[in-house]
Amino acid sequence: MRFTFLGTADAGRVPLYGCECPACNAARTQVAKRRGPCSALLETDQTRILLDAGWPDLDERFPVGPDAILLTHFHMDHVAGLFHIRWGVGTAIPVFTPNDNKGCDDLYKHPGLLDFRTFPAPFESQTIGDIDVTPLPLNHSKPCYGYLITHSSGVKIAYLTDTIGLPNETCDFLIQQKLSLLVLDCTHPPQPSSAKLNHNDWLHAQDIIKRIPAERTFLTHISHGMDCWLRSNQAALSGVEVARDNQAIEFKP
């Protein structure tokens, strides 16, 4: 089983358009430091699941469609790639989503290839191939799910973006799991406590990480500001890892 970060940026990506901060300048000259739309791929011997669909080149990345797409929510940086592939031909692609009666722009009106599906309720899992997927409510400006992904080999992955803090029920649920991998929104460096946030800063992320045990923890949905801060605050992470685009994590059976 393999989990790959396809993209690890916030909506502004890194480099941010027009920005000349050290993180953005570094990303312009070093491809490895670039960050694209926040998205991941889960692969087992039998099943391929795409987590979020913000990459605009899904046609080239998936000439054979994934078995399913899990959407965390309908913000553009997570769904932009659907607007093109929906017009395609071939097998319909199941797209699991939170309950959001607006969707994004005209995706519901013209779904084309996309077979939109919702979950019966939060915390009620669905089986996709040899993977179990459990939707977990998050705190965001649109209806938003994180996902617990469970494989028969025992691997358990929690993918939690976009969110500011965590709802108690989601946190309590995750504390009881023995996570192999925790992937968490950490868009911002530490912000003043008065800041109105729609995403975790490092302080909120740290609080969540301390409460939810996991063998490995990765931060994602990283802004250029977070990347700047990390240039002089790597030590603060103490074992927490910051994801990179195209970084793959292998789980041995």
Using the rule CB under 8 A, is 15 a contact of a copy of itself? yes
User: For a copy of itself, which is the closer residue by CB, 10 or 181?
Assistant: 10
Site for a copy of itself in 105-134 (CB under 8 A): 105-106, 113
- Smallest separation, CB 84 to a copy of itself (Å): 6
CB 200 within 8 A of CB 219: no
Q: Is 224 in the site for Zn ion (CB under 5 A)?
A: yes
For residue 87, the partner it binds in Zn ion, a copy of itself, Mn ion, none, with Cβ less than 5 to 8 A by kind, is a copy of itself
Site membership for Mn ion, residue 13 (CB under 5 A): no
For a copy of itself, the closer CB: 228 or 249: 228
- Rounded Cα–Cα distance for residues 75 and 73 (Å): 6
Q: Is 56 one of the binding residues for a copy of itself (CB under 8 A)?
A: yes
Beta bridge partners of 40: 5, 51
Residue 14 · residue 27 · CB < 8 Å: yes
Burial of 111 (0-12, 13-18, 19+ CB in 10 A): middle
Residues in contact with a copy of itself by CB under 8 A are 11-13, 15-19, 56-59, 65, 76-77, 80, 83-85, 87-90, 104-106, 113
Residues in contact with Zn ion by CB under 5 A are 16, 19, 21, 24, 224
